[in-house]
Amino acid sequence: MPIRIQNDLPAKGILENENIFVMDERRASMQEIRPLQVCILNLMPVKQDTELQILRAFSNTPLQVDVTFLTVKSHESINTSANHLNAFYQTMDDVKDRTFDGMIITGAPVEHLAFEEVDYWQELCEIMDWTKEHVTSTLHICWGSQAALYHHYGLPKQELSEKLFGVYAHRVSNRKVPLVRGFDDIFYAPHSRHTETPADQIKACKKLKVLADSDEAGVFLAISRDGRQIFVQGHPEYDRQTLHNEYVRDMNRGLQIHVPFNYYPENDCTRRPMLQWRSHCNTLYSNWLNYYVYQNTPYLLNEIGFKTMQECTIPEDDME
């Protein structure tokens, strides 16, 4: 898939070196098609890493995607330079009158805080409400999914007894839903979090359907009945080294942290981690872009909010 990004985004060179087709603004302007417009609200501290991870995940579909990076104005980033944010990011004030085919709301390292204590919580709530009329389908990742489940459905998060940290096996629970087409019965995905939205609460909500879960990690993937809200309580976009980098970081800080589960060969942190989740990550993002964005978004973007999903709407009897 050609990913359209700004000409000077640092991730562009890395992606090109990996033989991922990246189309800059000059070349895209010569295309005679309407590319998908996808907005990424990046709440992660090192924004360049998350940019690269998500753009990699986008690279396995033939659809052309124009990416707009969004940040919150009510929080000052200390891990990403102001120059980078000014060059490549916009705020809600810049895009509030636009509509998007798809949107991603990432995780954020604020799990130790109650939602209302997060300094940009009110702004995030306004953005999540805005997506209902301005975005065809929104995909929420990790803390972003917990925040959305709380804001939209009133489901609170809870602290875990210890950090859920590693690569866990999950099982698909409903194959009729297009989001998990092509998934194996059992698949793996990384988790790195101190909190969760409990599985029993998600399963008890009649407006949601659980598509994949795990005995150890709880609910991994859930969806609203109309397909316009998708919740991923993990990090399938993570690179091979991401959990390793987090492990080394926490060790250097003197934090109590166990070796990432099912990650290093023989639990030896000096050995190269095993990459066990890339294919299902690519399938997840490809299915989302195809079935929940491309197949359902109107050609005229200003009609978003008035079109109901067809193939991706889950019948009432399949919600039980």
Q: Which of 235, 246, 280, 281 is catalytic?
A: 235
| Amino acid making up residue 171 | R
User: Any catalytic annotation for residue 142?
Assistant: yes
Q: Which of 51, 111, 196, 237 is catalytic?
A: 237
Taken in order 40, 44, 46, 49, the sign of the CA dihedral is negative
- Secondary structure percentages of the chain, helix, strand, coil, to 5: 35, 25, 40
Q: How far apart are CA 138 and CA 223, in angstroms?
A: 10
Q: Which two tokens stand for residue 109?
A: 């390292």
User: Any catalytic annotation for residue 25?
Assistant: no
Q: Which two tokens stand for residue 159?
A: 């602290």
Taking Cα atoms as reference points, which of 47, 23, 45, 46 lies closest to residue 35? Answer: 23
- What 3-state DSSP class applies to 223? strand
User: Any catalytic annotation for residue 237?
Assistant: yes
Q: Which two tokens stand for residue 12?
A: 């562009």
> Contact, 77 vs 85, CB < 8 A?
yes
- What 3-state DSSP class applies to 142? coil
Q: Which of 51, 111, 140, 142 is catalytic?
A: 142
Q: Which residues are catalytic?
A: 142, 235, 237
